[in-house]
Structure 1
């Protein structure tokens, strides 16, 4: 289990009620991780998921980043993994998240840092990013464009507050540079860089953050 998954597992308590995985893909990773903690599970994603990929007992509907196809105040918890860097209109996305989350409910997400060197390279490389990924990592997932429009603490705080959320937790998440494993000297350099960033408490340069929001209004 990765450090990210440990964080989700420890923060999401057994609560009954309903949970939504926003951006579940065809793997439903967080839904499967948090199995047994809620009475009802729901998923939504940009792409239609084949029926055979949907876990038993989970309801799925396709969505957009600005329209979540579920009722108001329906969910006790919304979990999001590796989605926010793709959101082009965060104000509308946060408004939708607030609409479907109960007052007192929580939204948990990971947030790739806009100023991490990987994020900077991804933005600067534009359409070449997908080609670089195919050469260096051969990803099994579909690669979407990245924009990082709410991927700093300041920008996320602004959008969250306007939508009726308060930040209960915002922590750095150091990670190993596995994306550089295709070339050992690059991997070693990335590992040394990560060690120094953590040692010097340079959170502004950490690769990502984990965030827990609470709906208060």
Structure 2
């Protein structure tokens, strides 16, 4: 029996725990979807979630087929091979290759930590979203032990280290981190400034990234159960934009 099934025995039935972060985040994303929506997946990647061995989690993550169109944008050309997109555009510069007021919902999953200029990033979000459109963000918490530990490792080594501690994570899917807007307070502030009615909070799933060591995994379980919310490894944010009508 592996560590996950010892501390989270419900995982034996379905392959996921009751606190699975991907299930929790994308369950809420799915609850916001409408069949007429155009969804923008920012930093869409190559669609590695299609390799997920847990059917429920994989199906929650795949948005294509649930809405009218899924558009993906990324700085990496390899993302054009993502099979779960209806349309792909390569980001070249600060401006996104997306029309104004054309998007109903934006997914930004583990991307914000790579953004060097959050103000420009949120300006683009506000430009492309329709009035009343939704923004869904999941990102690491700058003040968690995971992010603090990552700052001790030079970015050039992040891909090799991450692929070791996170089972199944490939080096090609790891990018440099800067953590410019990765606290609950900062993210809430910039979302409100950008015109969003929002909720921003800390979240901690089972410590799957520590499964390389039983001792480390136990530490992660204790942290998950007893650490204050502002230290939780992940931040979830959901917002609805209200634009001023001229």
Question: Above 0.5 in TM-score?
Answer: yes
Q: Which residue of 1 aligns with 2:68?
A: 39
Q: Which residue of 2 aligns with 1:130?
A: 159
1:63 and 1:34 map into 2 onto residues whose CA distance is 21
Q: 1:51 Cα deviation (Å)?
A: 5.3
Q: 1:77 Cα deviation (Å)?
A: 0.5
Normalised to the residue count of structure 1, the TM-score between the two structures is 0.86
Of residues 130, 151, 155 in structure 1, which corresponds to 2:186? 155
Q: Which residue of 1 aligns with 2:128?
A: 100
Q: Which residue of 1 aligns with 2:239?
A: 213
Q: Which residue of 2 aligns with 1:20?
A: 40
Of residues 194, 204, 211 in structure 1, which corresponds to 2:230? 204
Q: Does 1:145 align with 2:176?
A: yes
8 Å contact kept, 1:66–1:89 = no
* Alignment RMSD: 2.3
Structure 1 stretches of 5 or more lacking a match? none
Q: Which moved more, 1:33-42 or 1:87-96?
A: 33-42
Of residues 196, 209, 222 in structure 2, which corresponds to 1:192? 222
Normalised to the residue count of structure 2, the TM-score between the two structures is 0.77
Task: Within 5 Å, give how 1:56-71 maps onto structure 2.
Answer: 58-64=86-92, 66-71=94-99
Q: 1:50 Cα deviation (Å)?
A: 6.3
1:14 and 1:28 map into 2 onto residues whose CA distance is 24
How many residue pairs get aligned? The number is 211
Q: Does 1:81 align with 2:109?
A: yes
1:19 and 1:28 map into 2 onto residues whose CA distance is 18
